[in-house]
């Protein structure tokens, strides 16, 4: 028969084993289950995104895997939602054939560092708002391990305010820019034509002798799944607006690839228009277009208030 001291030791040993197993299971399944652990820290940062929070856990539990792959394609139901945000009326079968061609060229699996107790992945998500002008945020942005930029996002001549480091660059055909060989291209396809454009940009490069079209490392291409777009629209934004903005989807995506997130360059001007730090706004009646800018901004503020992100509002 066990003594009281032996019994206490056995209980403590079991509790420790359960704790270690729970943490290991979470690290393994963070992408599969999209839910938060309720015990301890899962990264080496002072405060980790993946620490349990009921509100955020509820939002993220229904999330699909963010990136498209041959083993992570979309359902016909999701395709029909995606078709609703575009003018392309080609069918699901044509879409699937296009995706097959995509993965004959680009990586079939997205690899990046996952949350680990011995790693702290700090990220700067840099939008293009005019509030970056005069902010002097550049050195702070570049100090992060990962810097995510969006659409055209020029850095030359704006280094003092926006920095010059880029790890991931989010874009779609209407906003593309050439990338160096070390930057990940995170491609947001809003229609079948976008996927075709991506294919053509690489397969026709030799014919064009690289005189035009997108230039990037094809082995570092990551394609956002339309299922993730639908998830952000339906779960986060409650179907407000026609579809989420590229910036807001990038921010939600960063919750998956970062342990600590700092957000720069988001928000409209004093008249409610989205403006850019690198150009003078022309259409002052556009506001936030087809996107629910007000609701997106409210979510950013709430994430900041809950200390899930650090939101730098600019000047």
| Alpha carbon distances (Å) from 294 to 268, 272, 288, 291 | 9, 9, 8, 9
243 is catalytic: yes
Catalytic-role residue among 243, 256, 277, 278:
243
Tokens of 292: 């629910």
Catalytic option among 144, 184, 276, 291: 291
Phi, psi of 224 (to 5 degrees): -65, 135
φ, ψ of residue 45 to 5 degrees: the values are -75, 165
Task: Provide the CA 54 distance to its chain's centre, in angstroms.
Answer: 21
d(CA 295, CA 303): 12
Q: State whether residue 293 is helix, strand or coil.
A: helix
Using an 8 Å Cβ cutoff, are 253 and 123 in contact? no
Q: Are 185 and 221 in contact (CB under 8 A)?
A: yes
Sign of the torsion angle spanned by Cα atoms 104, 108, 111, 115 = positive
Q: For 129, which DSSP code?
A: B
**Pair 142, 160: CB distance under 8 Å:** no
Q: Is the separation of the CB atoms in 311 and 303 below 8 Å? A: yes
Distance (Å, whole) CA 22 – CA 16: 10
The single-letter DSSP state of residue 183 is S
Closest CA to 188 of 236, 248, 239: 248
Q: Is 169 designated active site?
A: no
Structure-block tokens of residue 74: 């979309």
**Are 146 and 122 spatial neighbours (Cβ–Cβ below 8 Å)?**
yes
Q: Return the active site residues.
A: 243, 291
């Amino acid at each position: 028969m066990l003594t009281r001291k032996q019994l206490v030791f056995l209980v403590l040993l079991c509790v420790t084993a359960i704790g270690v197993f729970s943490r290991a299971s979470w690290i393994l399944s963070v992408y599969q289950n999209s839910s938060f652990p309720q015990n301890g820290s899962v990264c080496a940062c002072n405060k980790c995104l993946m620490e349990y929070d009921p509100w955020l856990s509820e939002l993220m539990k229904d999330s699909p895997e963010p990136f498209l792959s041959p083993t992570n394609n979309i359902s016909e139901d999701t395709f029909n939602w995606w078709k609703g945000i575009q003018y392309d009326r080609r069918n699901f079968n044509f879409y699937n054939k296009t995706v097959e061609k995509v993965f004959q060229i680009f990586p079939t699996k997205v690899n990046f560092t996952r949350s680990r107790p011995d790693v702290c992945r700090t990220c700067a998500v840099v939008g293009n708002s005019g509030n970056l002008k005069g902010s002097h945020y550049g050195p702070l942005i570049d100090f992060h391990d990962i810097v995510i930029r969006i659409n055209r996002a020029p850095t030359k001549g704006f280094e003092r305010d926006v920095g010059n480091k880029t790890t991931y660059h989010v874009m779609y055909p209407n906003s593309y820019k050439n990338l160096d060989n070390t930057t990940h291209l995170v491609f947001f396809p809003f229609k079948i034509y976008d996927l075709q454009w991506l294919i053509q940009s690489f397969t026709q490069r030799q014919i064009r002798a690289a005189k035009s079209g997108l230039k990037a490392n094809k082995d570092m291409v990551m394609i956002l799944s339309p299922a993730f777009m639908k998830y952000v629209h339906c779960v986060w934004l409650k179907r407000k607006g026609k579809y989420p903005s590229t910036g807001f989807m990038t921010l939600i995506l960063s919750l998956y690839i970062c342990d600590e997130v700092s957000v720069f360059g988001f928000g409209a001007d004093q008249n409610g228009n989205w403006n850019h730090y690198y150009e003078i706004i022309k259409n002052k009646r556009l506001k936030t277009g087809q996107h629910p800018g007000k609701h997106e901004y409210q979510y950013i503020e709430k994430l900041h208030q809950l200390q899930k992100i650090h939101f730098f509002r600019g000047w």
